[in-house]
């Protein structure tokens, strides 16, 4: 049987640095619809509603000194794939403390190939 996307993303946990590939549809100047894949790379700071239909992950990155967060529903049809780049050792389920500007420590990470 074909496994659903929800089952495919069950191994995602907070502390993982991931690259989420998402299909984007755009209109060019002639009015033609083009599809391309755009990726968003960042740290998973929260995972909510784990195995439910509405399960989501919150991915955060810092771009030019500004924090950017995106919430991805895991069974979104436009998500092509999610690559795990690094895994950090964390002791919390929600990593909202990383948003704080006072938090200067780096997380201990190991690179995944």
**CATH assignment at residue 21:** 2.30.30.790
pLDDT in tens, 74-96: 989 999 999 999 999 999 999 99
State how many domains the chain has: 1
- The model carries a pTM of 0.84
Domain ranges, residue 103: 5-111
Spatial distance between the Cα atoms of 35 and 49, rounded to a whole number of angstroms? 30
Q: What is the dihedral of CA 6, 10, 12, 18, to 10 degrees?
A: -40
What 8-state DSSP symbol labels residue 12? -
pLDDT in tens, 24-73: 999 888 888 999 999 999 999 999 998 888 999 999 999 998 999 999 99
């Amino acid at each position: 049987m074909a496994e659903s996307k929800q089952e495919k993303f069950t191994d995602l946990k907070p502390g993982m640095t991931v690259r989420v590939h998402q299909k984007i549809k755009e209109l060019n100047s002639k009015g033609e619809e083009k599809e391309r894949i755009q990726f968003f790379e960042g740290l998973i700071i929260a995972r909510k509603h784990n195995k439910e239909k509405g399960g989501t992950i919150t991915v955060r990155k810092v771009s030019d000194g500004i924090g950017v967060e995106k919430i991805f529903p895991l069974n979104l049809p436009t998500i092509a794939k999610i690559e795990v780049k690094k895994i950090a050792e964390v002791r919390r389920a929600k990593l909202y403390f990383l948003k704080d500007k006072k938090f200067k420590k780096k997380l201990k990470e190991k690179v995944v190939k």
